[in-house]
């Protein structure tokens, strides 16, 4: 299969492909999604096949406006209107209980709920509108690997497996959307996956509690939202998280063990490590915003076989605000492992 690169003036062509059952990756403000007609079970199955993704993992339904959601949901949480008015379009996915059989079970993972999002990306909103149907849109990568934040990343993973890629340049945020569970109108909203919309922001807006579900699903449990599996976003090379106070010890360990090490960090760390390690991927600034935007790109860049790295050491940030989302993704990429002062 030839994978076509669609530009912004080719929306109609790309929309025709997805409407009729093909696969076209699209940009969002978070990461690139793999688009397929959410109403065609065969098209959704082909998403799982292209990604190598377990079919029990539910998919997010991408819409161009909130009215599209009403076709599938008739019992909304009382806080829905306020949340949508403030955060759609944007990096916030909402989970609702849906009308029975209103969406294929290939989309819902067999659950009675479904996740919906209106991305803040003009090209993709135009794609959904032109297609005239909602689109599923899991990250457009090989399942379990770092999510794609450029069209080149998508092409690297899925060339020859999908029909096309709508190129919208590099994404702005770089980590997937916050997933907020509103499926039970009688309970407080619960964050199932952290993202750029934080618990603190939502509580301030709603003036009510917002819960945070930090558990990781077991191998036999069906996740209610994507990204809840234990190991995810992981390159083939071993990844270790490094706390600020441990960088000098980590460098000594690398040298003593004669490891080919890569470093992903901001300028403050990268500038001191660049001559003593095999490769460095530097964030633009020493901020969690810059780190979140470039984490997946860094993991991909340093996982190239030509570098032949033994380990990738990655900078950590405080687990608060956007740092909660950053550390969630980094921890899964590292399989929960920190560099410790001693044997690894």
193 is in an annotated binding site: yes
DSSP annotation string for 306-337: GG--SEEEEE---SSTHHHHHHHHHHHHTTTP
Is 53 marked as a binding-site residue? yes
Does residue 117 have a known ligand-binding role? Answer: yes
Q: Is 177 annotated as a binding residue?
A: yes
- Tell me whether residue 208 is annotated as binding: no
How far is the C-alpha of 116 from the C-alpha of 3, rounded, in Å? 27
97 annotated as ligand-binding: no
Contact 276, 270 (CB under 8 A): no
102 is in an annotated binding site: no
316: annotated binding-site residue?
Answer: no
- Non-local CB neighbours of 111 within 8 Å, separated by 6+ positions: 58, 222, 224
State yes or no: 274 annotated in a binding site: no
Q: Strand 238-242: give its sheet, edge to edge.
A: 238-242, 311-315, 261-265, 279-282
Closest of 85, 118, 112 to residue 96, by C-alpha: 112
Contact 34, 137 (CB under 8 A): yes
> Residue 139, annotated ligand binder?
yes
Q: Is 62 annotated as a binding residue?
A: yes
Q: What share of the chain is helix, strand, coil (3-state, %, to 5)?
A: 35, 20, 50
Contact indicator for 177, 32 with CB cutoff of 8 Å: no
Q: Which residues are annotated as a binding site for L-threonine?
A: 30, 62, 117, 177
Q: Which residues are annotated as a binding site?
A: 30, 53, 57, 62, 113, 117, 139, 147, 177, 193, 233
Q: Which residues are annotated as a binding site for ATP?
A: 53, 57, 113, 139, 147, 193, 233
């Amino acid at each position: 299969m030839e994978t076509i690169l669609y530009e912004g003036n080719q929306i109609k062509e790309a929309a025709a492909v997805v409407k009729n059952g093909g696969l076209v990756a699209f940009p969002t403000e978070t990461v690139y999604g793999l688009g397929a007609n959410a109403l065609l079970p065969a098209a959704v199955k082909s998403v799982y096949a292209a990604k190598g993704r377990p079919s029990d993992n539910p998919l997010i339904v991408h819409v161009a406006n909130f009215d599209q959601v009403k076709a599938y949901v008739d019992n909304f949480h009382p806080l829905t209107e306020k949340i949508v008015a403030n955060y759609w379009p944007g990096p916030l996915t909402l989970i609702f209980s849906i009308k029975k059989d209103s969406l294929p079970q290939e989309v819902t993972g067999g659950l009675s709920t479904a996740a919906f999002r209106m991305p803040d990306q003009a090209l993709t909103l135009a794609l959904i509108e032109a297609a005239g149907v909602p689109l599923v849109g899991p990250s457009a990568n090989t399942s379990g690997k770092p999510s794609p934040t450029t069209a080149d990343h998508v092409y690297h993973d899925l060339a020859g497996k999908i029909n096309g890629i709508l190129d919208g340049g590099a994404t702005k945020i770089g980590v997937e959307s916050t997933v907020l569970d509103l499926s039970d109108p009688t309970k407080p909203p619960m964050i199932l996956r952290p993202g750029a919309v934080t618990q603190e922001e939502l509580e301030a807006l709603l003036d009510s509690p917002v819960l945070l579900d930090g558990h990781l699903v077991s191998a036999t449990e069906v996740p209610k939202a994507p990204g809840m599996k234990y190991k995810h976003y992981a390159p083939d090379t071993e990844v270790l998280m490094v706390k600020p106070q441990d960088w000098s010890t980590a460098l000594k360990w690398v040298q003593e063990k004669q490891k080919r090490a890569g470093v992903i960090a901001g300028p403050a760390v990268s500038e001191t490590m660049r001559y003593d390690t095999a490769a460095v991927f530097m964030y633009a600034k020493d901020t969690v915003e810059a780190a979140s935007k470039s984490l997946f790109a860094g993991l991909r860049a340093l996982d190239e076989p030509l570098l032949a790295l033994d380990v990738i050491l990655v900078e950590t940030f405080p687990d608060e605000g956007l740092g909660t989302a950053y550390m969630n993704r980094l921890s899964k990429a590292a399989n929960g492992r920190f560099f410790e002062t001693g044997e690894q």
